[in-house]
């Protein structure tokens, strides 16, 4: 073998200074901050705020919104943490409570809508448009997030990518609520979740090559 001695000499001989990555929480906050600014511009320019404010008066609707947004924020933080070699895989559980809150409150709201509206409360509202929205917003958000996560060259890229996918899809689902002038039905909710799942699957597949700098 050229032996490990030779390899060490070669690695040390070619050594170049590297820029140390900033703490993951700070990097996540910077990305979330930029997305927050862009979201405010989008909402201020295009959202139907009176309708949204009317819907947001319902505390259960607010609970759903909080669950959606928290899932997005926590999943993005978890993705940054998981991208580093020495962080616990348990970070993957960080968004689970808020995800349960989101799904639980959405399901309750759907059930209530069904009870109030009868059979009309069960059919599809504009669920397909919502699906398109979440995927269309989730993918570019995901690409921008991948660019940052890639710098860590994750040793296990697939969980990182899946977590990033959950984060961006949840943020897209949260933004959707500002452009969603009706209460969701079960079919709508299923399509929302299907869209989130689609983004997670796409991100997971993309992560295999997009984040895996160590592939061999």
Partner 1 sequence: MNSDVGDEWGMLMAAAQGGNRQAYDRLLREILPYIRAIVRKHHATADRVEDVAQDVLLTIHRVRNTYDPARPFSKWLGAIAHRRSIDALRRRVRSDANETFSPIAYETFADPEANKDISAHEDSTVLAEAIAALPPGQRQAVELLRLKELSLAEASAESGQSVGALKVSLHRAIRALQAILGRQDGRND
Contact between 158 and partner 1 by CB under 8 A: the answer reads no
Query: Which among 179, 176, 169, 174 is positioned nearest to 202, based on CA atoms?
Result: 169
Instruction: Round to whole Å and give the CA distance between 121 and 51.
Output: 19
Contacts (CB under 8 A) with partner 1, residues 183-202: none
CB of 32 to partner 1, least distance (A): 20
CA torsion, ordered 185, 190, 192, 194, to nearest 10 deg: -170
Question: Which of 30, 96, 136, 213 is close enough to bind partner 1 by CB under 8 A?
Answer: 213
Q: Read out DSSP for 133-149?
A: HHHHHHHHHHHHHHHHH
Judged by CB under 8 A, the number of residues near partner 1 is 32
150 is a site residue for partner 1 (CB under 8 A): no
Tell me if 8 contacts partner 1 by CB under 8 A: yes
The reply on whether position 92 binds partner 1 by CB under 8 A is no
Considering Cα of 200, then 206, then 210, then 213, what sign does the dihedral take? positive
Q: Is 6 exposed, middle or buried, given 0-12, 13-18 or 19+ CB atoms closer than 10 A? A: exposed
CB 207 → partner 1: shortest distance, Å?
A: 15
Nearer to partner 1, 101 or 158 (CB): 158
CB count within 10 Å of CB 73 equals 22
Instruction: Residue 178: name the closest of 35, 1, 66, 47 by CA.
Output: 47
Q: Is 115 in the site for partner 1 (CB under 8 A)?
A: no
From 155, 182, 201, 208, residue interacting with partner 1 (rule: CB under 8 A): 155
By the rule CB under 8 A, 96 interacts with partner 1:
no
- Give residues 9-38 in contact with partner 1 (rule: CB under 8 A): 9-13, 15-21, 23
Q: Does 147 bind partner 1 (CB under 8 A)?
A: no
Site residues (vs partner 1, CB under 8 A): 1-4, 6-13, 15-21, 23, 84-86, 151-153, 155-156, 213-216
């Amino acid at each position: 073998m050229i032996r490990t001695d030779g390899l060490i000499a070669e690695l040390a001989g070619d050594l170049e200074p590297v820029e140390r990555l900033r703490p993951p929480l700070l990097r996540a906050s910077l990305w979330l901050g930029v997305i927050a600014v862009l979201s405010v511009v989008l909402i201020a320019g295009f959202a139907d705020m009176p309708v949204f404010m009317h819907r947001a008066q319902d505390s259960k609707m607010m609970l759903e919104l909080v669950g959606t947004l928290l899932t997005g924020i926590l999943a993005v933080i978890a993705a940054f943490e998981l991208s580093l070699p020495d962080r616990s895989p348990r970070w993957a559980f960080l968004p689970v409570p808020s995800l349960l809150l989101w799904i639980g409150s959405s399901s309750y709201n759907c059930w209530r809508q069904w009870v109030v509206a009868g059979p009309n409360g069960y059919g599809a509202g504009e669920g397909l448009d919502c699906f398109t929205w979440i995927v269309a917003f989730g993918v570019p958000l995901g690409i921008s997030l991948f660019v940052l996560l890639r710098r860590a060259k994750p040793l296990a890229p697939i969980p990182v990518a899946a977590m990033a996918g959950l984060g961006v899809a949840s943020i897209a689902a949260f933004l959707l609520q500002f452009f969603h002038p009706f209460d969701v039905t079960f079919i709508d909710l299923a399509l929302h979740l299907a869209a989130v799942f689609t983004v997670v699957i796409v991100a997971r597949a993309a992560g295999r090559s997009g984040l895996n700098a160590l592939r061999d």
